[in-house]
Amino acid sequence: MNLIQILLILVAVTFLLVYLGYFRSVLRDRLIALGIFASAVLAVLFPDVTTTVANVVGVGRGTDLLLYLLVVGSVFAVVMLKTRLMSIENTLTELVRQLAISNAERTENTD
């Protein structure tokens, strides 16, 4: 085992422990995180497997497959974060409106 493999596995374990320890998530999300972790460790331990999988799906090299997956995953994450941010902004807008209406002072018209 190479030094880089040890370092990558340690980083992956650290990220997994941080995710499982500090972020609240449903069981489904934790299982997805465990699946991603297991895939990462397998790819680090057996780098030729990524090339084999890439050839099966029609990509030339395992590195290219990982890059494609990274791009798709990043776009998905950005879209999900943007959707969540828009939802939070809408909720905040509604709360501010309700607060403004409940705290509004009545003014009498003296024309």
Using CA of residue 76, residue 79, residue 80, residue 81, what is the dihedral sign? positive
Reported for 37-40, long-range contacts at CB under 8 A and 24+ positions apart, including other chains, are 37/12, 37/13, 40/8, 40/12
What does the pLDDT read at residue 105?
A: 73
At which residue do the structure tokens 């331990």 appear?
Answer: 45
| pLDDT at residue 30, rounded to an integer | 87
pLDDT at 86: 97
Q: What is the residue extent of each domain of the chain?
A: 1-45, 60-104
Check residue 107 and give its pLDDT.
63
Show pLDDT as tens, one digit a residue, over the chain (111 residues).
Answer: 889 999 999 999 999 999 888 887 788 888 888 999 999 999 999 989 999 999 999 999 999 999 999 999 999 999 999 999 999 999 999 999 999 988 887 666 655
Q: What is the pTM of this model?
A: 0.70
Question: What whole-number distance in Å separates Cα of residue 66 and Cα of residue 59?
Answer: 10
Tokens of residue 43, six digits: 């790819």
